[in-house]
Amino acid sequence: MHKQIDTDLQNTTTLNPTLFRRLLLLAIFCFSTIWAVDSNSAMIATFDAHAYPLCIAAFVFVYLLSLLSKMSQERLFLFTYFIVASYLLSSSIWHHAGEGGLYSNAAQWLGLNYVIAYLFLEVRRAATITIIVFVFTVLGHYLALIQHHNVSDSISVVMNIAVAQFAYIVLLWTVVKLRIKALQVVEKVNILEDLAYIDLVTRILNRRGIENIFQKLQLDENHDQSNYAILLIDIDHFKQVNDQHGHLVGDAVLTSVAAKLRRIIHNTDVIGRWGGEEFLVLTLDRTTEQTLALAEKIRAEIESFELPPCSGVTVSIGIAFSSQASSTTEVFTVADKNLYVAKNSGRNNVLHSFPTLKKSSASDKPSAL
């Protein structure tokens, strides 16, 4: 699990399309502003005079592609990174190629190549590309400097550039690794939290998980607008199953019944193991007739279900509707009372209290199907 999480995190980028387009607009603004300022001050270099408008046009093109085309985000990110890295690297090399190249400060911007790589690209690809860019940076600047300066001076400048770039890479990789570890911790916490809501025998929600769903659905807060029913399902004579066949067989019966219930209910319904041999099904937005039909289907299919070495496994079901009480606790109480009556009325049956237009108490007279 740890290796899978690590792989998933290293193969993803957190840059979403909206943020990506905003960064493109920022790049267009920055390049346009610098171009305008340098042009008005007559300080613009020949290289930049041609490079600025080309970069701006390229950014606009990528922005339009992100809106109009079906090109993958990964390719758009890579294309954008190529634009930025090409400009920064070629600009620095060009400025170092002149006779005053030893004193050029153009290399100060090269660190952005590594920052943007880890911003735009997934981690593994960014790591590979930063190594390639680093090699091109060192070789490119050395070849540019050696044209007008001796080997010693050229190597001295290149070593300064190389050490600075290497520091950028190491620091960025450290930050990325720390981020990955932090995300791994969060992911593990989420997994453990999910496991805390799952019954380990039946692999469905446990009591805590059901209560969590109740809270998320805000059934009590919106009770007057809610339309739901609670079905409490109890396996008849389950103690005899454990006594006669052992707890492993008992667990197998619980697992089989849970699996059967999952196949019967609708995907909008909620199912969980309430405790022991008792299950709870929460149905949402069903009519009374649909809920009663579901309960009878559950009872009938469990009765006909073959669960060797056990035979004749049946369930009793108590039902309550949201229109019968003012809270989920009260609705549950109605369902629990109906289940009690069902268990003491021969078992293998379904009991309910028909909902009325007005809220009624949990003492509604149960009716059997």
Residues 178-223: tens digit of each pLDDT:
888 888 888 887 777 777 889 989 999 999 999 999 988 988 887 7
What are all long-range contacts of 6-12, with beta carbons under 8 Å and residues at least 24 apart?
6/180, 6/184, 9/123, 9/180, 9/183, 9/184, 9/187, 10/122, 10/123, 10/124, 10/180, 11/122, 11/123, 11/124, 12/122, 12/123
3-state SS, residue 265: coil
Class of domain 207-368: alpha beta
Average pLDDT over residues 334-340: 95
- Average model confidence (pLDDT) across the chain: 86
Residue 118 has pLDDT above 90, yes or no: no
Q: Is the pTM of this model over 0.95?
A: no
Q: Per-residue pLDDT tens for 222-267?
A: 777 789 999 999 999 999 999 888 999 999 999 999 999 999 999 8
Helices 151-196 and 123-145, interaxial angle, to 10°? 170
Q: What percent of the chain has pLDDT over 70?
A: 91
Delimiting residues of CATH 3.30.70.270 domain(s) in the chain: 207-368
Residue, of 98 and 285, whose pLDDT is higher: 285
What is the per-residue pLDDT for 369? 58
List pLDDT tens digits, range 31-48.
999 999 988 887 788 888
Q: Which residue has the higher pLDDT, 284 or 365?
A: 284
